[in-house]
Amino acid sequence: MGKVLIIGAGGVGTVVAHKMAELPDVFSGILLASRTIEKCDTIAAKIGCKRLKTARVNADNVPELVQLIRSFEPDLVVNVALPYQDLTIMDACLETGVSYLDTANYEPLDEAKFEYKWQWAYREKFEKAGLTAILGCGFDPGVSGIYTAYAAKHHFDEIQYLDIVDCNAGNHGKAFATNFNPEINIREVTQKGKYWENGEWVMTEPHEIHQPLTYPRIGEKESYLIFHEELESLVINFPTIRRARFWMTFGQEYLTHLRVIQNIGMAGIQPINYEGKEIVPIQFLKAVLPKPEELGANYKGETSIGCRIKGIKDGKVKTYYVYNNCSHEAAFAETGTQAISYTTGVPAMIGAMMFLQGKWKRPGVHNVEEFDPDPFMHELNMHGLPWYELTDIDLELD
Ligand code: NDP
C-alpha cells in the first residue's frame, strides 16, 4: 500500500486516476497534479473519491516539483504529462528520494527524436539513491515489452523475429483528429521509419513500407512500418532478436490530412514569428484540432495491439501472437475516455501497483521488459485489458 503522485491531467491521467481510485488496498493516497488545476478538479469531481486530491504544478520547473513532492510525500511519481517533462520530473524524484514511472521516453522540445539515451543516463544516479525508475509503462511502449518478456519466458528458447502490430479500427466521426496529444502524435508518425535487422538499424522514408495485416475481430487493415521507441530497448534486452519492427494502421483520409499538414508547414516544431509573436506551428495546430479527450463520446470500434513473434522452441520453429482488443465504447463508458487513453492508463496503474507491492522494485532505470512479466500479465486480465494467445499460425509477416 502506498501514496502516488500522478502528474498530467490529460486522457491518460484521467484513466490512471480512475483505476487507482478503485483500489484502496493498493493506493492509499492519490494526488493528481497538472499545469491546469481545473482539469484535475473536473476529473476528481467525476470520480468522487475521498483519497483523490488535486494540485497545480508546472512540471518543467524542478523546484516547484520538489516542493509538491515534499508536501505530499508519495512513494512513487507517475508521469503522464508530456515526454518533454521526463527529465525534470526524474530530477525532482532524485532530489526528494522518490521512485518514478512514465509511459513515453524523453523528447527534446526542439527536436523530434525518440531515444532512451537521455533517461538511461540517469541509471547510476537512481541506483546510488536506491530508487526505481520504470520507463515506458503504457501499452506501446509498455505492454508490448511485457508481452515480449512473457513470450521469452514461457514460449521460446530464442526469439528471432518480433513484429509489434498496432491497429486502431475505431471511428470518431471527425475528418482529422489524433488519439493522444496531437503534437506528440504527429511528431511520432511523420518521422522516418526505422527497424532492426541483423544487428543494425535500417532507415526508411516515412510510411514507405506497408502491407495489409489481419487483426482479430477487425479484419484486414493497411499497416505501415514506423519507428517506435520500445524497439530500442527490446533489441538490447533480447539480443537473439534478428529483426524487430513496429506496424501501425492508418486510414487513407488520415494520411492525406497528414501529408497536407506537413506540406504546408503546420507540422513544424521550430518557432516562427507571427505578427510580432513567436508561435510553433505544431503547437498552434494542436490548439485548433479536436481535443483527444473529447473524441470519446462518439468513438466506435476497437483497437487491437499485439506482438507477432517467430523463434525456436525445443529445436523447432514456433510462431506466437499475443494481443489485446479494446473497445472505445466500453473504455468511454467506464472512464469517460477513448481506448487509446485507456490502454495507456491501465498499464501505468498496474506498473505503479507492481512497484508498491514490491514486485517491480529494483534500484536503477529500467524498461518494463526487465521485470518479471507474470504478475503484470495477471493484473492485465483483472483490470480491463485481457489478452489472448495464438500459436503456430501464419503471422503474415516474412
Ligand atoms: P494530454 O495532452 O491529453 O495530457 C497531457 C497533460 O499533461 C495535460 O493535462 C497537460 O496539462 C499536462 N502537462 C503538459 N505539460 C505540463 C507541464 N509542464 N506541467 C504540468 N502538466 C503538464 O496527453 P495524453 O494524456 O494523451 O498523454 C499523456 C502521456 O502519455 C504522453 O506523454 C504520451 O506520449 C503518453 N502516451 C503513451 C502511450 C503508450 O502506449 N505508451 C500512448 C498514448 C500516450 P494542460 O492541459 O494544462 O496543458
Q: Supply φ then ψ for residue 351, to 5 degrees.
A: -60, -40
Residue 295 binned pLDDT confidence (cut-offs 50, 70, 90): confident
| Predicted confidence (pLDDT) at residue 310 exceeds the cutoff of 80 | yes
pLDDT of residue 185: 85
pLDDT of residue 393: 97
In 3-state terms, what secondary structure has residue 164? strand
| Predicted confidence (pLDDT) at residue 112 exceeds the cutoff of 80 | no
284 in a structural domain: yes
11 lines ligand 1 (CB under 6 A): yes
pLDDT of residue 189: 85
Give me ligand 1 centre to Cα 128, in Å.
29
The number of the ligand 1 atom at minimal distance from the alpha carbon of 292 is 3
80 lines ligand 1 (CB under 6 A): yes
The predicted model gives 357-364 an average pLDDT of 98
| Predicted confidence (pLDDT) at residue 332 exceeds the cutoff of 90 | yes
- Which residue type, as a one-letter code, is found at position 384? G
103 in a structural domain: no
Sign (positive or negative) of CA dihedral 291, 292, 296, 298? positive
Higher-confidence residue of 292 and 332: namely 332
364 in a structural domain: no
Q: For 190-338, where are the alpha helices, taking DSSP H only?
A: 230-237, 252-263, 281-288, 328-335
pLDDT, one tens digit per residue, over 122-141 is 999 999 999 999 999 999 99
154 in a structural domain: yes
346 in a structural domain: no
Task: Specify the number of domains making up the chain.
Answer: 1
pLDDT of residue 58: 98
pLDDT of residue 292: 82
Q: Which of 155-169, 175-189, 258-272 has the lowest mean pLDDT?
A: 175-189
Q: Supply φ then ψ for residue 13, to 5 degrees.
A: -60, -35
Could you tell me the pTM of the whole model?
Answer: 0.96
Q: Taking the CA of residue 230 as centre, how many other CA atoms within 13 Å lie in the half-sphere pointing to its CB? A: 33
Distance CA 352, CA 371 (A): 13
pLDDT of residue 249: 96
pLDDT, one tens digit per residue, over 239-283 is 999 999 999 999 889 989 988 998 999 999 899 999 999 999 999
If you average pLDDT over every residue of the chain, what do you get?
96
Residue 110 binned pLDDT confidence (cut-offs 50, 70, 90): confident
Q: Of all residues in the chain, what percent carry a pLDDT higher than 70?
A: 100
| Predicted confidence (pLDDT) at residue 109 exceeds the cutoff of 90 | no
263 in a structural domain: yes
The predicted model gives 167-184 an average pLDDT of 89
pLDDT of residue 391: 98
What is the residue range of 172's domain? 143-334+386-391
Residue 184 binned pLDDT confidence (cut-offs 50, 70, 90): confident
Output DSSP code: residue 287: H
Q: Of all residues in the chain, what percent carry a pLDDT higher than 90?
A: 89
pLDDT of residue 153: 98
The predicted model gives 299-322 an average pLDDT of 98
Supply the CATH number for residue 163's domain: 3.30.360.10
115 in a structural domain: no
Whether the bond into 216 is cis, omega within 30 of 0: no
pLDDT of residue 180: 81
| Predicted confidence (pLDDT) at residue 349 exceeds the cutoff of 80 | yes
Give strand ranges (E) for the chain: 2-7, 27-34, 52-56, 76-79, 99-102, 132-135, 158-168, 193-197, 200-204, 210-215, 219-225, 243-249, 272-274, 277-279, 302-313, 316-327, 364-367, 388-391
Residue 335 binned pLDDT confidence (cut-offs 50, 70, 90): very high
pLDDT of residue 363: 98
| Predicted confidence (pLDDT) at residue 11 exceeds the cutoff of 80 | yes
139 lines ligand 1 (CB under 6 A): yes
| Predicted confidence (pLDDT) at residue 114 exceeds the cutoff of 90 | no
Tell me which residue has its CA closest to atom 3 in ligand 1. 10
58 lines ligand 1 (CB under 6 A): yes
Higher-confidence residue of 75 and 298: namely 75
The predicted model gives 312-327 an average pLDDT of 98
369 lines ligand 1 (CB under 6 A): no
Residue 150 binned pLDDT confidence (cut-offs 50, 70, 90): very high
pLDDT, one tens digit per residue, over 79-88 is 999 999 999 9
Closest CA to 113 of 88, 143, 133, 83: 83
Q: Say if residues 27 and 354 touch (Cβ distance below 8 Å).
A: no
pLDDT of residue 209: 97
Give me ligand 1 centre to Cα 12, in Å.
7
181 lines ligand 1 (CB under 6 A): yes
| Predicted confidence (pLDDT) at residue 111 exceeds the cutoff of 90 | no
Q: Taking the CA of residue 26 as centre, how many other CA atoms within 13 Å lie in the half-sphere pointing to its CB? A: 19
| Predicted confidence (pLDDT) at residue 317 exceeds the cutoff of 90 | yes
In 3-state terms, what secondary structure has residue 152? helix
